[in-house]
Structure 1
Amino acid sequence: MSYDKHILWACTAALVTGWVLTYDNGLCSGNVTRHSCNWTCMQLTLQWPGSFCIGLNNKTICQIPQTVSNWTIHGLWPMRTGHCCDCWPVFHSHLQEIEPELIQLWPSFLKGQHYFSFWKEEWIKHGTCAGCEESMGSPVLYFQAAVKLRKLFDIESVLESVGIKTSCDVSYKPEDIRGALTPLLGTDYDLQCVTDSKGREAWMQLKIHLFRNQTLGCHKQEQEEKFNTLAWFNSPAHLCPKNTTIFYVPINYENPHEPCN
């Protein structure tokens, strides 16, 4: 068996049997923990570039490319607590066909981080678990699924249709934003905010709950709580408060960490 075929066989065996095999010096080895293929729900997490940089501790590392003007993908995350398969690599060549769309819809906002490095991290952390589902059973299928979902959920058009626009002066009640989004997303989604230097709540993320067949409505509370404990450890993002208005801040390319100053 050739070197590459050995790796492919080992990774396939890991997915079928449910065991994780670690990728070490080019070889898959060991069965250190269970691979979580039995997840039910996943989250499509979209982020708003205008407020993304607010939450970073190091303000100097953030930049918003001039080509980005709409909501972008943060990730497509199966809600699981187990480990994904370290031995299922993704290479740049796998994504070249869809790279122009990924650059537009799934960019990195960190200086010095190559886009592919960001995509690779998302594949290793989340995509390899999503790969248990046939429709996402390879790196390119996984990223294509996320892009397709992002295009399906046309957040910008929905908000604009009801007069919700970016502003540093006008804030919105969370129920008004939900009133606009619910016809598109159903009721199982979360608004996440960050707090800016003036104590204002800025809407940063939208987490859309999906079944593994990519349909709306999955909401497994116990599983979600365990997943969020891992995914948001030490993160400044939090559920947008219901008792105050929130800002949908504009993108500030020159000063992204203080978009309203």
Structure 2
Amino acid sequence: MRYDKHILWACVAALVTGWVLTNDDGHCSGTVTRHSCNWTCMHLTLQWPGSFCIDINNKTSCKIPQTVQYWTIHGLWPIRTGHCCDCWPIYHSHLEEIEPELTKLWPSFIKGKHFFYFWKEEWIKHGTCAGCVEAMGSPLLYFQAAVKLRKLFDIDNILEKSGIKTSCEVSYKHDDIRGVLTPLLGQNYDLQCVTDSEGREAWIQLKIHLFRNQTLGCPKQEQEQKFDRLPWSNSTGHPCPKNSTIFYVPINYENPHEPCN
């Protein structure tokens, strides 16, 4: 679809003030509608590669690169209602400055899907709403913010130092994991799991609650969000159970959809 250049830049400019020109299907037009700029909180969502392929729809489409050994970024997501702007384009050249870091910390695990197209989807779905905030007011700034936060919350180092290591034999109580993460994150996070073919509860995601100024915290009513349907999965992820143990499964590069079988 081609956009009139004047409408295109009007959309981008209007985004900063909270107003966007859209038509009924969310694309640019001459009609002014309210954009989702009045959000308060966001989630930095980290994902564990070892669990990623467990519940994926097409087992053959999943691949974990050998270079991936740590928690990666799934997204930086404003908690909002309403539509983000389709009119704020992102191009590969926008991210060239930080592409080496993004490739390491924000990879795609779907075969044949270039990393940039994963980043592009995240920008269109979430980044254009985050762009209402000056510190994330461009594709480059948004992705730089996510990388900075990922480095700040060094989950791999915290877990390793606390003795929580990947295993198919050893599992952990919910409170054991929270006891390790709470000194770093307070109560501002959620643990998300998926169930593998043997009934193991496998830890897959960590959602860290942040204010729009990128500091920890979020009003309670904002935190209580339903877990998202995992777009690549057969089912929704779910809160990690408190009444059974949780597996922090290893990354299995050869058989990623069944890391413990």
TM-score if structure 1 supplies the norm length?
0.91
Higher mean displacement: 211-220 or 61-70: 211-220
Which residue of structure 2 lines up, in the alignment, with residue 132 of structure 1? 132
Structure 1 residues 48 and 92: CA distance shift in structure 2, 3 A = same
Which residue of structure 1 lines up, in the alignment, with residue 12 of structure 2? 11
Distance 1:34 1:75 in 2: 24
Distance 1:208 1:250 in 2: 22
Distance 2:181 2:227 in 1: 26
Give the deviation of 1:77 after TM superposition: 0.1
Which residue of structure 2 lines up, in the alignment, with residue 217 of structure 1? 217
Higher mean displacement: 53-62 or 245-254: 53-62
Contact conserved, 1:42 with 1:211, CA < 8 A, in 2?
A: yes
Describe the superposition over 1:20-39 as per-residue Cα deviations: whole angstroms up to 9, x where unpaired: 53699xx8314375311000
Give me the CA root mean square deviation. Answer: 2.1
Identity %: 74
Which residue of structure 2 lines up, in the alignment, with residue 208 of structure 1? 208
**Equivalent position amino acid for 2:217 in 1:** G
Describe the superposition over 1:193-247 as per-residue Cα deviations: whole angstroms up to 9, x where unpaired: 000000110000000000000000114425743xx36666874311000000000
Structure 1 residues 230 and 237: CA distance shift in structure 2, 3 A = closer
Structure 2, unaligned runs of 5 or more: none
Matched ranges for 1:30-109 at <5 A: 30-31=30-31, 33-109=33-109
Distance 2:241 2:223 in 1: 22
The residue matched to 2:74 in structure 1 has which SS?
A: strand
Distance 2:227 2:91 in 1: 30
Runs of 4+ in 1 over 6 A off after TM superposition: none
Structure 1 residues 200 and 142: CA distance shift in structure 2, 3 A = same
Give the deviation of 1:172 after TM superposition: 0.2
Give the deviation of 1:4 after TM superposition: 4.9
Structure 1 residues 12 and 231: CA distance shift in structure 2, 3 A = farther
Contact conserved, 2:63 with 2:109, CA < 8 A, in 1?
A: yes
Residue 146 of structure 1 pairs with residue 146 of structure 2: yes
Contact conserved, 1:71 with 1:155, CA < 8 A, in 2?
A: yes
TM-score if structure 2 supplies the norm length?
0.91
Residue 196 of structure 1 pairs with residue 205 of structure 2: no
Matched ranges for 1:213-252 at <5 A: 213-221=213-221, 224-225=224-225, 228=226, 235-252=235-252
Structure 1 residues 33 and 194: CA distance shift in structure 2, 3 A = farther
Give the deviation of 1:50 after TM superposition: 0.1
Structure 1 residues 187 and 54: CA distance shift in structure 2, 3 A = same
Structure 1 residues 46 and 20: CA distance shift in structure 2, 3 A = farther
Structure 1, unaligned runs of 5 or more: none
Higher mean displacement: 11-20 or 247-256: 11-20
Give the deviation of 1:113 after TM superposition: 0.8
**Equivalent position amino acid for 1:71 in 2:** W
Structure 1 residues 81 and 210: CA distance shift in structure 2, 3 A = same
